[in-house]
Amino acid sequence: MTNQALLEQFLNILLPVWKEEEEVYGMFWWAWQEISQSKRSAFFLQKTQEVSTEDSIVWEKLLIHLQERKPIQYFFGKQYFFGEAFQVNSNTLIPRSETEELVEWMLEVLPKSESIEILDIGTGTGCIAITLAKELPNAKISAIDVSERALEVAKNNAKSHQVLVDFWQKDILKEEISEKTWQAIVSNPPYVRELEKATLLPHVLQEEPGLALFVSDEDPLLFYRVIAQKAWNTLSSGGHLFYEINQYLGKETLALLQDMGYQNIQLRKDLKGNDRMIHAIKP
């Protein structure tokens, strides 16, 4: 089979399953670069080249995986974040571009030369904490998660990226943060309401860990309220609180922080135009 025939087969099999043409093409180009170890542009110079037997086996397995609407990231065991590969599996959420935007905002605000203490709550793959550790080498980064299996992935990622992050297992809803004083706390907690399940793509709903995704319709700001309360006791004066948020609850999250006494609260949209992140200061 030639590379062009491979592309046509990929589209013919997966378009009826995934529906979105842009998404299916995106998966093909990512898979092409991973399997062939070539840039996308090389495909157009190699359209008539035969796919090797070894690569054909991988493509066949990938097609089976994707026909079951499983995320391509779980097949390759990685997702790219800030241009770097991070290990992912079914115990972790797959890092998304909106979270990259949150980290970019943090890097705009936080001092690069000072030895500050930063805590990431609900670290998952560790992508936020590890990226901050790489971009802010003078900072001391800690990260917590309720899931021991997610922490195993995060620790592996820190090791592969050769950065030092202090990871610990903790249920933020039941335990205090710590006795340390932090200059910045960041969290991308569960924020998808049960009523919003229908808006999620099937592979997100079926494959990614619900523990890291969902909150009840009755108390959708639970994690934001609890984290902000506990952050108030451990953030230094002038300390920063950063959140990734539910796009439909931006005003409500902002009002919550205002009522708790936080100041200089900023609500920022993501590149898609949705309310997505908040930055607040503890006075």
Segment 24-68, tens digit of pLDDT: 999 999 999 999 999 999 999 999 999 999 999 999 999 999 999
Residue 272's φ and ψ, nearest 5 degrees, are -90, 0
Q: Which residues pair with 184 in a beta bridge?
A: 118, 240
CA distances from 28 to 61, 84, 112 (A): 13, 19, 38
Residue with tokens 């959420």: 93
Residue with tokens 């299916």: 24
Length of the chain: 283
- Alpha carbons within 13 A on the beta-carbon side of 107: 17
* Each residue's pLDDT tens digit, 177-227: 888 999 999 999 876 665 555 555 555 545 455 555 566 666 789 999 999
* Each residue's pLDDT tens digit, 261-279: 999 999 999 999 999 999 9
- Which residues have a Cβ under 8 Å from the Cβ of 151 and sit 6 or more positions away? 123, 145, 167, 168, 169
* Each residue's pLDDT tens digit, 98-110: 999 999 999 999 9
Res 125: pLDDT: 97
Distance CA 173, CA 149 (A): 18
Q: For the whole model, what pTM was predicted?
A: 0.90
Distance CA 140, CA 120 (A): 11
At residue 11, does pLDDT exceed 60?
yes
Res 183: pLDDT: 98
**Better-predicted residue by pLDDT, 94 or 267:** 267
Task: Say if CB 252 and CB 209 are below 8 A apart.
Answer: no
Residue 120 DSSP class: E
Element (H, E) at 264: strand 263-269
* Ranges of each domain in the chain: 3-68, 91-281
* Each residue's pLDDT tens digit, 118-177: 999 999 999 999 999 999 999 999 999 999 999 999 999 999 999 999 999 999 989 998
Q: Which of 51, 56, 66 is nearest to 12 (CA)?
A: 66
Distance CA 107, CA 84 (A): 17
CATH of 91-281, one of 3.20.20.80, 1.20.1050.10, 3.30.70.100, 3.40.50.150: 3.40.50.150
Task: Say if CB 97 and CB 161 are below 8 A apart.
Answer: no
Distance CA 277, CA 268 (A): 5
Distance CA 276, CA 283 (A): 23
Structure tokens at 211: 């523990």
Strand, coil or helix: what is 242? strand
- Which residues have a Cβ under 8 Å from the Cβ of 57 and sit 6 or more positions away? none
* 249 Cα distance to chain centroid: 19
